[in-house]
Amino acid sequence: MRPRPSSNLLRLKRAVLSGLIVAILMISTEGFLINTGAHFPTSIDSRWTTSPPLIDGNMTSLEWSDATVVNLTSIPGNKLASYLLVKNDARYLYLCYDAIGDDSFDMLDTASMAFDTDHDGIETAGREDQFIAGFRVYSAHLISDGSGNWTVHDSPVNDSLPNHTGLAVAYGFGQSDFASNVHRIYEFRIPLPLLGVSPGDAIGFLAGSQYFAGVLDYSDFTQSTWPRRFLGPQSLDKFGTLNINAAPDIADLLVDPLEQWNIGEPGTSIDYVFTVMNEGTMAPDVFDFNVSSIWNVTLYDLLLGTPLTDTDSDGLNDTGSLDLGVGKAILARVDIPPTATGSTIALLNVSSSLDLAVHLLGRLYTEIPIARFTPPHNDYGIDLDSPPDGLYDYLRVEISVAVEVSGAYSFEGYLYDQSKTRVIANA
């Protein structure tokens, strides 16, 4: 009889294998990621707030309701279900990771973030900042030496140092506005003078750091990052942009999210949902839409399900009148022509009727996949023993992929147990 494979090889009984087929088939839609070179939103607006949160690692009801919300799970490749929330009040930048998918209490759970304070993509000694929470009872503030190395400046974070007044990091385990299960929550309060920015400025931002992902569940090593999925340290030119919003002007608006991305097949339609909010301080306002796209785009009132109309007779479809602080959910439907190839960007210029100089430009990136899974897919066990001993030594999964553009593609797969919650193996 030939020697048995090493113990790190997967061995499955025939009876168990059949029960795992459903979980194995999930690989074709959940586990593998085809890199299409897609565009992803790379900017975040830090909303102005008059209600600063308590930095205690807990999220009380509506405590972060006025923050900008980034769904990290929507970024292809991110595995840990989580949200990033951001707001500021001209003194502090408030950030929260609501890791709704991390419901296991592990001392090594971690969250981190990094800032390119000059927003120039170049490391400057003593100017760039990273913050870490978790990893046992730990908080740290790191700075760059200007040559790719990051050193601990203060740990735990020290609010008595110059420009550190009010600096706070906390993390806990509880419920949130986004999920009723008990899960990890991380909160940060960073003084704007420490980052060297003021309301109206922009700063480079990364959900991640030199040593950790943006948010990490240590129990299964699932993690999420921004502005895209990445592994390992990132140079500053890979950071996204964080806009530090100032107090609202007389006429002002918010479009959230401002950028979205999705893929679709020719002859289908892709729906994007966003909110337009009157953030002005003067009066009710009507916000007009001017859409530019080579593919047809139709805008709907999400709640009513009816197309938007021109309520103020200025030649542009609009939100209708919105009172101060009131928003309207909009659905933008992009129709992909049956013969379409490549990708397109639909530009949505949203402007105030009270002040035409007040406007925001939204972008909807829609892409035809250059590679996709095409059935059939197969999986079966391989027994290397002679004679067979009834136990499989390997699990082989075969997939079929159709590509429109030649090139190198990467695949990633995970094998789950029958509960679809525990990772058995990955490749």
Q: What is the CATH number of the domain that holds 94?
A: 2.60.40.1190
**Which residue, chain included where needed, has tokens 């289908």?**
268
- The DSSP symbol for 294 reads S
Same domain, 155 and 271: no
Same domain, 210 and 305: no
Q: Which helix (H) or strand (E) holds 37?
A: none
Find residue 37's DSSP bridge partners.
none
The residue ranges of DSSP E strands in 336-400, in sequence order, are: 343-352, 359-367, 371-373, 378-382, 391-392, 394-398
End residue of a domain, out of 217, 244, 271: 244
In a domain, 136, yes or no: yes
Looking at residue 40, its pLDDT comes to: 56
CA distance linking residue 349 with residue 292, whole number of Å? 8
Same domain, 184 and 203: yes
In a domain, 6, yes or no: no
End residue of a domain, out of 244, 261, 289: 244
Same domain, 115 and 240: yes
Phi then psi for 345, rounded to 5 degrees? Answer: -120, 120
State the residue range of the domain holding 67: 43-244
pTM exceeds cut of 0.85: no
Same domain, 153 and 301: no
End residue of a domain, out of 244, 273, 290: 244
The CA angle 174-179-181, to the nearest 5 degrees, is: 50
Same domain, 72 and 210: yes
In a domain, 332, yes or no: yes
For strands 306-307 and 394-398, give the pairing: unpaired
Same domain, 228 and 318: no
Least trusted range by pLDDT, from 14-23, 82-91, 225-234: 14-23
Q: What is residue 224's three-state secondary structure?
A: strand
Taking only the tens place, the pLDDT of each residue in 303-316 is 999 999 999 999 99
> Following CA atoms 243, 196, 53, 140 in sequence, which dihedral angle do they give, to the nearest 10 degrees?
110
Same domain, 394 and 315: no
* Residues above pLDDT 90, as percent of the chain: 68
Contacts of 78 (CB under 8 A, 6+ apart): 72, 223, 224, 225, 229
If one counts the domains in the chain, the total is: 3
Taking only the tens place, the pLDDT of each residue in 201-231 is 999 999 999 999 999 999 999 999 999 999 8
CA distance linking residue 198 with residue 373, whole number of Å? 47
Taking only the tens place, the pLDDT of each residue in 252-292 is 999 999 999 999 988 999 999 999 999 988 889 999 999 99
Same domain, 260 and 285: yes
